[in-house]
């Protein structure tokens, strides 16, 4: 078998499957669309998003492409974008499967009919290339054929992955997942009625490129004016981040893969929800709202209304929250999607670099768990219900 090259090289694992490793390419649009007709989606692997990250210098990305060379043609059957990352000087280099900051799913997009062969080919291509052999897979979708193919391929290689955490993500489908009764639903109705008493309330989700750009600037301004702006974590707080996300939304909107839903009161935007789209799945990427309307829960109202609107569309089958189970979307939705954070060493044995990265990530995970426990303890106790 020919060894994989780090740039435009090819690893021929069989007479049918070929893997190439390259920078993001602008000519992948038609192949990407064809693959999405057969595969589980991941909007963060969209070539337009990857090109935006590279064009703005936001991330160094290598793209693994799996091609089926049989049948007299060439068909894309898998894509996996990996970011080259180094935590600090002299620290081991790592391949991060979240291709850029603000990505929330690290799973490759693979034709399920080729899942076992493609995943094995991806791992072999990394092993034979000049790329780092340490793979960090945070926010990996733990459902579906791709995750199962990963575990099977690693078992065949004699590689034991380090599972850093298993968790759930709020997730809804047309069939289930939205809470229709209970205290949360009652509060949403009350908040909507109180907000409606202020004047004309409407939900706007303009999908035209010009409309998306205008709405996204309104979102950025809302976020900057919020507590995120005060803490310096808003997207506009860093020039590099702002340049990237503007290019990201612009390019995705040009492919009908992004929009910004707005909650307006008397024409004023009081909440904005950035949405991304990929093959029947919508992603609630970022939310911002005007703190002056905080008593009406505008962010939750917007997500609740836009969820119903999306699922009523013939093009949307599911909505991925891109959020933790403890988020407000976890209160709105009962549906969940299993996720996992995994670390892998593709090379022989467990390298020193892998052990160092494992120590860093496990330490970070323990600090996060401690933080969550402290927050839970500091939360005010719920009031006891009165006896009947």
pLDDT tens digit string along 88-117?
777 789 999 999 999 999 999 999 999 999
User: So what's the pLDDT on residue 4?
Assistant: 39
Contact present, 330 and 170 (Cβ < 8 Å) = yes
What is the percent of the chain where pLDDT is above 90? Answer: 79
* Residue 74 banded pLDDT, cuts 50, 70, 90: confident
Helices (H), the chain: 29-36, 47-55, 115-128, 145-157, 183-196, 209-224, 227-231, 239-254, 298-311, 328-332, 352-378
- Tokens for 224, please give them: 């900057």
Separation between Cα atoms, residue 171 and residue 177, nearest integer Å: 7
State the average pLDDT over residues 157-178.
94
3 state SS of 308:
helix
| pTM as predicted | 0.89
What is the percent of the chain where pLDDT is above 70? Answer: 92
Separation between Cα atoms, residue 140 and residue 169, nearest integer Å: 11
Contact present, 37 and 29 (Cβ < 8 Å) = no
Question: Does residue 386 surpass a pLDDT of 70?
Answer: no
* Residue 352 banded pLDDT, cuts 50, 70, 90: confident
What crossing angle do the helices spanning 239-254 and 47-55 adopt, rounded to 10°? 150
Among the residue ranges 12-16, 91-95, 234-238, 330-334, the one predicted with the least confidence is: 12-16
Q: How far is CA 52 from the centre of its chain?
A: 16
Domains of the chain and any CATH numbers: 9-167+339-371 (3.40.630.30), 177-334 (3.40.630.30)
User: So what's the pLDDT on residue 70?
Assistant: 78
pLDDT tens digit string along 297-312?
999 999 999 999 999 9
Question: Does residue 376 surpass a pLDDT of 80?
Answer: no
User: So what's the pLDDT on residue 361?
Assistant: 83
């Amino acid at each position: 078998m020919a060894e994989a090259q780090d740039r435009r090289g090819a690893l021929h694992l069989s007479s049918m499957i070929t893997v190439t490793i390259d920078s993001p390419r602008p000519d992948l649009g038609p192949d990407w669309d064809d693959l999405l007709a057969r595969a589980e989606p991941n909007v963060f692997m969209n070539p337009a998003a990857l090109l935006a990250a590279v064009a703005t210098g936001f991330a160094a990305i290598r793209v693994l492409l799996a091609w089926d060379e049989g049948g007299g043609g060439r068909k894309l059957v898998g894509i996996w974008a990996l970011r080259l990352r180094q935590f600090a000087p002299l620290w081991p280099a790592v391949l991060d499967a979240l291709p850029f900051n603000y990505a929330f799913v690290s799973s490759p997009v693979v034709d399920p009919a080729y899942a076992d062969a493609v995943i094995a080919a991806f791992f072999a291509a990394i092993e034979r290339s000049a790329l780092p052999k340490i793979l960090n897979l945070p926010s990996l979708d733990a459902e579906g054929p791709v995750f199962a193919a990963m575990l099977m391929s690693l078992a065949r290689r004699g590689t034991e992955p380090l599972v850093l955490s298993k968790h759930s993500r709020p997730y809804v489908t047309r069939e289930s997942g939205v809470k229709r009764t209970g205290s949360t639903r009652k509060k949403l109705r009350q908040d909507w009625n109180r907000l409606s008493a202020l004047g004309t309330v409407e939900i706007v989700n303009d999908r035209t490129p010009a409309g998306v750009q205008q709405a996204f600037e309104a979102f950025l301004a809302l976020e900057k004016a919020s507590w995120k702006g005060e803490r310096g974590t808003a997207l506009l707080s860093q020039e590099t981040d702002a340049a990237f996300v503007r290019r990201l939304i612009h390019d995705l909107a040009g492919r009908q893969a992004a929009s910004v839903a707005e909650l307006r009161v008397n024409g004023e935007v009081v909440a904005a929800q950035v949405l991304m789209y990929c093959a029947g799945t919508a992603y609630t990427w970022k939310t911002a709202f005007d703190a002056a309307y905080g008593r009406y829960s505008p962010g939750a109202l917007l997500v609740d209304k836009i969820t119903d609107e999306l699922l009523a569309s013939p093009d949307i089958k599911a909505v991925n929250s891109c959020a933790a189970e403890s988020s407000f979307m976890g209160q709105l939705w009962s549906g969940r999607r299993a996720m996992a954070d995994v670390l892998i060493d593709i090379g022989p044995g467990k390298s020193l670099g892998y052990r160092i990265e494992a120590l860093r990530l496990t330490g970070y995970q323990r600090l996060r768990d401690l933080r969550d426990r402290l927050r839970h303890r500091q939360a005010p106790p719920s009031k006891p219900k009165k006896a009947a």
